[in-house]
Amino acid sequence: MRRSLEVWKMGTVNYLEALKLQEKLASDRKALKITDTLLSLQHPPTYTVGKRETVHNLLIPDSELKSMGAELHYAQRGGDITFHGPHQAILYPIVSLRDIGLGARMYVEKLELTMIELASMYGVKAQAGQKCETGVWVEDRKIGAIGVRISSGITSHGLAFNMDPDLNYFKHIVPCGIVDKGVTSLKNEAHVELPAEEVIQEQLIACFARIFGYNDVILKDKSML
């Protein structure tokens, strides 16, 4: 059976704009108006807090965020506080778990595998976190975060993989609520020269499509949307 995935390559998108788009697409997917869709993008500097509202894991006052050029937003996703910003590859899958025959746990595990496979392409040995440690790690350093929302079997939010973000932004939070662990990036861990970020983002899309079993991938860039 052929499974189709429409991929929107969106460049840099404001967090709230991306949030509204996800809500619209999730509604359309639930109504069977669209096929499974994957948003590939980056965000300007943004801290996001999940539905548990663990804003205490933000270590600086809100007033300082503006001077740093960063925003703070609350989202209806799982997971704790995290940072999104330039040079981080983000995938937001809007897919029907029923159609691809996955439960929530297996879905998250396949998101982890997507990032593990990408890291391995650059000789970086990444792995899923221990119990209660979501995301993907290189030893005790986090290279990829996951926070998902599933409503009526339709997914939104997703994963963020650190290509080469400014890791100083992570010093102002307890990333994903996990104390005493560091954050890293592909740039820090790979012992090879990295290609252009657009190439890495396309490789991440390819890993996602392969691991989730999509054999018909339709790419749309910003000019086509």
The residues annotated with a catalytic role in the active site are 176
**Do strands 82-84 and 46-49 pair parallel, antiparallel, or not at all (unpaired)?**
antiparallel
* Annotated binding-site residue? 158: yes
Q: Tell me whether residue 145 is annotated as binding.
A: yes
Residue 77 annotated as binding site = yes
Burial letters for 145-178: b for 16+ Cβ neighbours within 10 Å, e otherwise? Answer: bbbbbbeeebbbbbbbbbbbbebebbebbbbbbb
Helix (H, G, I), strand (E, B) or coil at 117: helix
DSSP 139: T
84 is in an annotated binding site: yes
Taking alpha carbons only, the member of 85, 83, 172 closest to residue 135 is 83
Is 184 assigned a ligand-binding role in the annotation? Answer: no
Report whether 101 belongs to an annotated binding site.
Answer: no
Confirm whether residue 119 is marked as ligand binding: no
Distance CA 53, CA 80 (A): 8
Does residue 79 have a known ligand-binding role? yes
Task: DSSP for 68-81, please give it.
Answer: HT-EEEE-SSSS--
Kindly state the tokens that stand for 38.
């994957």
- Is 82 part of any known ligand binding site? yes
43 annotated as ligand-binding: no
Q: Binding site: which residues?
A: 77-84, 145-147, 158-160
Q: Which residues are annotated as a binding site for substrate?
A: 77-84, 145-147, 158-160
